[in-house]
A = this chain, B = another copy of it.
Amino acid sequence: MNSRDTLVTELNVLGTFDPIVPEVCQNADYLMLGNLSPQVQLSVINRMTNRPKLIAMDTMNFWMDIALDDLKETMKHVDILIINDEEARQLSKEYSLVRAAKIIRAMGPKTLIIKKGEHGALLFHGESVFFAPALPLEEVFDPTGAGDTFAGGFMGYLAATNDDSFENMKRAIIAGSALASFCVEKFGTQRLTEITTQDINHRISQFVALSNFEMNL
């Protein structure tokens, strides 16, 4: 099998996945839907007794290819969509990410995060746009899981601070970007198991230094 066939097989197996939401998670205020089939993602939303305060979802080009109608249905039920630039272009049929964001947000999610890998991430919310840079790295050892780490760090920050304002979403994107920058330093989840809060704060301070300027107008 080629890698695409392997992916299809794996994702078909995942497509039969029928997740039960544990009782302990029923009152969650923040729900992050990982990149599974849109039907599975929707079933999780429907199985929450109370609608979480904020629902974010990840998805990918594969579901746009084979389950676009389901994806569009699920998108109506979420607050934040997290995708990469290529996926944003495929979903919107627009090259300009500004135009793509308008089209995608009209499909449901009030907030859109477009990840651009080594080129950072854009956050579209209300009439505002925020850009978070990626940290320039000497070496990327293994990029696997960087996107999931970013999404988890982003939603974890929002949940830990319990604040879904635009200003706090900006901080959450920086926190997610900082965590993702650790993820790529070693294989798999190894680096993430080693780091301390101090390490994370130091890395975040590097993002502040990287982006910070004072302009007198």
Contact = CB atoms under 8 A, between A and B. Distances in A.
Interface of A: 96-99, 116, 119-120, 122, 128-133, 136-139, 167, 170-171, 174, 201, 204-205, 207-211, 213-215, 217
Given A119-B119, A130-B211, A171-B214, 8 more contacts: A96-B137, A98-B137, A98-B138, A129-B136, A171-B215, A201-B217, A205-B217, A211-B211
A204 B208 contact: no
B130 A213 contact: yes
Nearest to A94: B138
A100 to B, nearest CB: 10
Nearest to A217: B201
Given A170-B213, A210-B130, A119 B116 contact: yes
Copies of the polypeptide in the assembly:
2
A167 B131 contact: no
Contacts of A174: 213, 215
Nearest to A134: B131
A211 B131 contact: yes
10 contacts: A97-B136, A98-B137, A119-B119, A128-B209, A131-B136, A131-B211, A171-B214, A171-B215, A204-B215, A208-B215
A99 B213 contact: no
A204 B214 CA distance: 11
B96 A122 contact: no
Nearest to A161: B216
A136 B122 contact: yes
Nearest to A216: B171
Nearest to A116: B119
A136 B137 CA distance: 23
